[in-house]
Amino acid sequence: MNVNEQPVDRWEARFRTTASALPYPPTPDVAGAVRRRLAAESARPAPRSFVTRRPRLAWAIAVVVLLVAGLLAVPEVRAGLLQFLQVGAVRIFLVAPSPTPSEAEVIVTALPGTGTLAPTATLHPTPPLVSSLLDLAGETTLEDARTRFGFPIALPAYPAGLGPPDRVFLQNFGGPMVVLVWLDPAQPDRVRLSLHLLTCDVCATKSEPPVIQTTSVNGQPAVWTEGPYMLQLSNGEIDLRRMIEGHVLIWADGPITYRLETDVPLDEAVKIAEALR
């Protein structure tokens, strides 16, 4: 034995000799198996992206919108689906809203023999009823309204020959509100059409219109309603009501909510709304 040979070296040499005499299974082709699996994965069709699915998704959304629009035409179903719709500053109640404490006046009396005060009845103060747009307060000129309104006032270029409004009103209902009124040339006391421009958060409410239809103006969601129903305007201090007998198209564009009130059908009303210049 070599005196310089260490015990570990002797153990390693013996281990190698013994291992070489034992049978050893062949090494598996791990790298080849991985390559084949990667090739199979790349051959599979890629999952459809959102862009690929978008047409089908768009069709599904369109079908849902049509179904909802159809359901809104049925008052009983409509009331079960929603409490109200809102377009800009206009809230359309689909069922009769419950009065809030600020809308109700509670009469308090003393219970007999007890001296205890208790409510005995609730009265709902009725806002004044404006019979016509021509009875509104705050009449002014178009030039003055454009100066004080704070936003551009666009006028419809359709129908041809409509011209500027015959009457202009400027009021404040939670924000400046302009009402433009065009009169019937053949009947000067009859309103041909009117356009409300509202800048409040929510200051106009409509109670259960018998006809509600969804549509669009310049690609923006819009709502079409047909009377009769009650319109109420409120600024927290003053409430005004007016019975709406005709048709109204409602849409929002930036900070302004528009109410186009007219007797023309829906397609004509949309043309007027999209012709604001």
pLDDT tens column, 103-161: 333 333 334 444 444 444 444 456 678 888 999 999 999 999 999 999 999 999 999 99
Among 132-136, 239-243, 255-259, name the most confident range.
255-259
Query: Hey, is 174 helix, strand or coil?
Result: coil
Query: Does 65 share its domain with 147?
Result: no
Asked if residue 103 is part of any domain, the answer here is no
| Confidence band of 97 (pLDDT split at 50, 70, 90) | low
Asked if residue 104 is part of any domain, the answer here is no
- Burial of residue 202, with CB atoms counted within 10 A of its CB: 0-12 exposed, 13-18 middle, 19 or more buried: middle
From 39, 65, 81, give the residue that closes a domain: 81
Query: Does 143 share its domain with 269?
Result: yes
Measured in degrees and rounded to the nearest 5, phi and psi for residue 240 equal -130, 140
The pLDDT of residue 168 is above 90 = yes
Domain count for the chain:
2
Beta-strand ranges (E) seen in 148-186 are 167-172, 176-184
Asked if residue 77 is part of any domain, the answer here is yes
Q: How many CB atoms lie within 10 A of CB 171?
A: 20
Give the range among 19-23, 61-65, 157-161 with minimum mean pLDDT. Answer: 61-65
Query: Does 62 share its domain with 148?
Result: no
Strand pairing partners for 200? none
Measured in degrees and rounded to the nearest 5, phi and psi for residue 110 equal -90, 135
Q: Which residue in this structure is represented by tokens 């310049």?
A: 218
Task: Give the residue among 254, 221, 182 at the shortest CA–CA distance from 87.
Answer: 221
In the sheet with 256-262, reading across from the earlier edge strand, the strands are 139-140, 167-172, 176-184, 187-198, 256-262, 247-253, 220-226, 211-217
Query: Does 257 share its domain with 178?
Result: yes
Query: Does 161 share its domain with 250?
Result: yes
Asked if residue 118 is part of any domain, the answer here is no
Query: Does 239 share its domain with 169?
Result: yes
Average pLDDT, the chain: 75
Query: Residue 54 sits in which domain range?
Result: 50-81
For position 191, what pLDDT does the model report? 95
| Confidence band of 187 (pLDDT split at 50, 70, 90) | very high
For position 240, what pLDDT does the model report? 85
